[in-house]
């Protein structure tokens, strides 16, 4: 009902042409294929778990990168904001804000701008200035690596070279190599490819932050 009311309100605006569908990846892609759409507005404000919606945003971004995506949110936290923009969203709009502001948001995003409030931008800045961590544990849940080693694993999984990792962590390339050798030995692997595959299957991404040098 809420989506129908929103679509009807947008249709009454002469500057918009509106097509609507269920919040389902396949249904959205079919709708996009049948219409010339520049902005996709996903209504997620009635949900507490945004994982499925972010998966749809990522799928849209990968298949139709020319389409700007806006998420309508009822509640959010730092993780939702950072993950939404990382998935490819171009705007986050709080559902309780006035309808006229939503129209401005859609027009701004259609012009190539990013829509976010000051708090959301602060979350993004903090996310960009921090180093990600991948928590690597054994089958029994025991921690296998130090905090710094976990950051090295995360950066390798993100595709960074030894030089890139050294710049991110302010270390020498030789020190990065030593960390990798120790990681390989602890995990019983011998190549970066194996490390990436191990991270995919055995690690979980944690809140970004700088590692405590005392734990390295």
The structural domain count of the chain equals: 2
Name the residue with higher pLDDT: 92 or 45.
Answer: 92
Distances in Å between the alpha carbon of 22 and those of 46, 59, 74, 178?
14, 15, 18, 51
Identify whether residues 68 and 13 lie together within a single domain. Answer: yes
85-104 tens-digit pLDDT = 888 899 999 988 999 999 99
183-195 tens-digit pLDDT = 999 999 999 888 8
Range of the domain at 188: 133-215
Q: What is the CATH number of the domain that holds 159?
A: 1.10.10.10
Name the residue with higher pLDDT: 60 or 46.
Answer: 60
Identify whether residues 172 and 112 lie together within a single domain. Answer: no
Q: How far apart are CA 133 and CA 206, in angstroms?
A: 5
Q: Is the pLDDT of residue 215 over 50?
A: no
What pLDDT shows up at residue 13? 94
Q: Is the pLDDT of residue 213 over 50?
A: no
Domain termination site, one of 72, 100, 127:
127
Structure tokens belonging to residue 160: 């960074």
Where in 118-175 does DSSP place strands (E)? 133-136
What pLDDT shows up at residue 1? 58
Structure tokens belonging to residue 102: 């939503």
Across the range 139-159, mean pLDDT stands at 83
Name the residue with higher pLDDT: 75 or 120.
Answer: 120
What pLDDT shows up at residue 48? 56
Residues 6+ apart with CB under 8 A from 132: 151, 154, 155, 158, 205, 206, 208
* Residue 38 pLDDT grade (very low, low, confident, very high; cuts 50, 70, 90): very high
| Phi, then psi, of 26 in degrees rounded to 5 | -65, -45
Mean pLDDT of the chain: 83
Identify whether residues 122 and 209 lie together within a single domain. Answer: no
Q: How far apart are CA 73 and CA 93, in angstroms?
A: 6
Domain termination site, one of 127, 147, 162:
127
85 neighbors 55 (Cβ within 8 angstroms)? no
Domain termination site, one of 127, 144, 166:
127
Identify whether residues 114 and 190 lie together within a single domain. Answer: no
What pLDDT shows up at residue 210? 39
């Amino acid at each position: 009902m809420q989506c129908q009311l929103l679509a009807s309100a947008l249709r009454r605006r002469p500057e918009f042409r509106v097509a609507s569908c269920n919040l389902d990846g396949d249904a959205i892609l079919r709708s996009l294929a049948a219409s010339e759409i520049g902005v996709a507005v996903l209504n997620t404000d009635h949900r507490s778990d945004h994982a499925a919606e972010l998966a749809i945003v990522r799928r849209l971004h990968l298949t139709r990168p020319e389409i700007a995506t806006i998420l309508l949110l009822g509640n959010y936290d730092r993780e939702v904001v950072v993950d939404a923009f990382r998935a490819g969203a171009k705007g986050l709009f709080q559902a309780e804000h006035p309808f006229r502001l939503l129209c401005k948001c859609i027009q701004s995003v259609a012009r190539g701008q990013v829509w976010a409030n000051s708090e959301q931008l602060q979350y993004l800045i903090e996310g960009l200035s921090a180093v990600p961590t991948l928590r690597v544990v054994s089958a029994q849940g025991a921690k296998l690596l130090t905090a710094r080693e976990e950051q090295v694993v995360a950066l390798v999984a993100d595709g960074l070279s030894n030089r890139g990792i050294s710049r991110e962590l302010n270390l020498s390339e030789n020190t990065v190599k030593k960390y990798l050798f120790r990681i390989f030995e602890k995990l019983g692997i011998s190549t970066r490819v194996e490390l990436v595959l191990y991270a995919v299957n055995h690690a979980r991404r944690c809140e970004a932050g700088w590692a405590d040098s005392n734990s390295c």
